[in-house]
């Protein structure tokens, strides 16, 4: 099962849903909001989802993982809304007869979710700037968007950064 | 609009949904639009010219009626179209 949640994730409650008599392993993954990214200090994150498509695509990933790895259960919950540093943004859990499958499935699900599911993340920085992850650096240079500029800030510099 | 096609000048009513960076650049979450654009590609280029969207077609995917679709499939009256910016879950 895959779900988008507007309220905080409760790992203990989710873990009980993975129980199975035949399961010898349970692996869970929590993605946390951290205070920095690509050299910038992050104050908070804002997640947005195309909920109907995200839940459809996410369910497809989780069902695919159950099949591929022979899992007993698998579950993924992704937050939307404003998240503070340290909060759980995404939770993945997989139970299986043996640990190899549980580890691999957990990794597979989070990788696929990040890659495919229509969820977007906006970083709000300590310096007052903000930006949509993966959307700012690939945009055309030299067309800085006025709405992303706070009053008094220079609009001269494009947001494109050189690769490290 | 006139230059785009000699196939058809009929217009279709399309329901558009916007998310993330496109929602902010458009200033709306959704709208209805009468357009002569025959495909999602033509529709996006029309919107991009009008609203200055910075992302180009190669950076986007398109969803038509809750299914990932092709850029060149003809649009139908009443279609619900969403352009998907690069995703960043997790």
Of B20, B27, B66, which has the smallest distance from its Cβ to A48's Cβ? Answer: B20
Question: pLDDT digits over B40-88, tens only?
Answer: 999 999 999 999 999 999 999 999 999 999 999 999 999 999 999 999 9
Closest Cα in chain B, distance from residue A139 (Å): 5
Exposed/middle/buried for residue A72 (C-beta within 10 Å: 0-12, 13-18, 19+): buried
Q: What is the CATH number of domain B2-84?
A: 3.10.20.30
The residues spanned by each domain of chain A are 2-132
Domain A2-132 has CATH 3.90.1170.40: yes
Q: Testing the interface with A: which of B60, B64, B90 to mutate, by most A Cβ within 10 A?
A: B90
Question: pLDDT digits over A75-119, tens only?
Answer: 999 999 999 999 999 999 999 999 999 999 999 999 999 999 999
ipTM of the prediction = 0.89
The residues spanned by each domain of chain B are 2-84
């Amino acid at each position: 099962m895959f779900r988008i949640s507007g309220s905080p994730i409760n790992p203990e409650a989710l873990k009980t849903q993975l129980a199975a008599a035949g399961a010898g392993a349970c692996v869970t993954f929590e993605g946390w909001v951290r205070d920095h990214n690509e050299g910038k200090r992050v104050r908070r994150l804002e997640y947005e989802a195309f909920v109907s498509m995200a839940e459809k695509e996410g369910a497809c990933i989780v069902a695919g993982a159950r099949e591929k790895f022979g899992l007993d259960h698998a579950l993924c919950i992704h937050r939307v809304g404003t998240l503070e540093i340290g909060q759980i943004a995404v939770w993945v859990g997989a139970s299986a007869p043996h640990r190899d499958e549980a580890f691999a499935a957990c990794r597979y699900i989070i990788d696929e979710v990040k890659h495919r599911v229509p969820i977007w993340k906006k970083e709000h920085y300590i310096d007052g700037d903000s930006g949509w992850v993966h959307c700012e650096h690939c945009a055309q240079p030299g067309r800085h968007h006025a709405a992303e500029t706070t009053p008094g800030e220079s609009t001269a510099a494009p947001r494109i950064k050189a690769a490290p | 609009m006139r230059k785009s096609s000699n196939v058809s000048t009929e217009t279709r009513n399309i329901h558009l949904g916007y998310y993330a960076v496109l929602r902010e650049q458009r200033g709306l979450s959704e709208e209805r639009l009468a357009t002569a654009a025959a495909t999602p590609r033509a529709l996006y280029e029309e919107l991009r010219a009008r609203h200055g969207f910075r992302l180009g077609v190669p950076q986007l995917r398109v969803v038509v009626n809750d299914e990932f679709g092709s850029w060149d499939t003809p649009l139908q009256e009443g279609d619900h179209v969403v352009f998907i910016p690069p995703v960043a879950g997790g």
